[in-house]
Structure 1
């Protein structure tokens, strides 16, 4: 039976050892960078959707736009690292921001839909992946 042995340079082995211990931190940093890209796009789309196409003067208070944010990176039960782009809980009047965003996205009786989430997700996909790749490559090189 043939047998082979491959010896890797010490520097390469040290890099692998560093990556295995730092991988959770690197993954959190990468998904946060990707989440920021998506959040920027959602914020831009939301700014354009609020008050557009209304019959009367807009009654926007700016609360929905102010409630948009990015959650901290967390690991789910499958071991995947995730961030969420979404809205904080309630407005000053007690109504949930998620409800207002849902009505804006899908419309209701007498109000046409003004989608801002789906187009943002579709248009930011490539930039999000690039941002995450950039972070991973930089951390692997040790920067």
Structure 2
């Protein structure tokens, strides 16, 4: 029976082992880089949607846009790391930011829909992936 031995370059093996040790430090930074790209898209879409095409002057207070933000990177029970973009609660008037965002996104009786989340998801996908790849390459090169 034939026997084959393949030796990897020593510096490559050292970098891979260091990458394994620093995974818990690198993943949150990579996810945050991608999340910030999508967050910027959502904020710009929200700013353009609020107060547009209304019968009456806008009564926007800016609370919805100010409450938009990123969650910390958390790990679920399956071992997957997640970052979420959402609205903090509550508003000063006691209403829910999620409800207001839903009304803007999907509309209601007498108020047309002004989607800002779905377009941000579709247009932000590729730039988000590219930003995360670039951040991962940067982190790996630091090792």
Same fold (TM over 0.5): yes
Write out the 4+ residue segments of structure 1 that deviate beyond 3 Å after TM superposition.
none
Alpha-carbon distance between aligned partners in 2 of 1:99 and 1:23, rounded to the nearest angstrom:
37
CA RMSD of aligned residues (A): 1.1
Matched, 1:133 2:106: no
Alpha-carbon distance between aligned partners in 2 of 1:2 and 1:11, rounded to the nearest angstrom:
28
Structure 2 partner of 1:122: 122
TM-score of the two chains, using structure 1 as the length reference: 0.96
Alpha-carbon distance between aligned partners in 2 of 1:106 and 1:30, rounded to the nearest angstrom:
31
Q: Give SS of 2:22's match.
A: helix
Structure 2 partner of 1:55: 55
Q: CA deviation at 1:24?
A: 2.1
Structure 2 partner of 1:77: 77
Q: Report 1:1-143 matches (<5 A).
A: 1-142=1-142
Q: CA deviation at 1:64?
A: 0.2
Deviation by residue 1:50-81 (Cα, 9 ceiling, x = unmatched): 00010010000000000000111111222221
Deviation by residue 1:36-59 (Cα, 9 ceiling, x = unmatched): 000000000000000001001000
Gaps of 5+ in 2: none
Alpha-carbon distance between aligned partners in 2 of 1:44 and 1:129, rounded to the nearest angstrom:
19
Q: Give SS of 1:5's match.
A: coil
Alpha-carbon distance between aligned partners in 2 of 1:53 and 1:78, rounded to the nearest angstrom:
45
Aligned length: 143
Between stretches 132-141 and 58-67, larger displacement belongs to 132-141
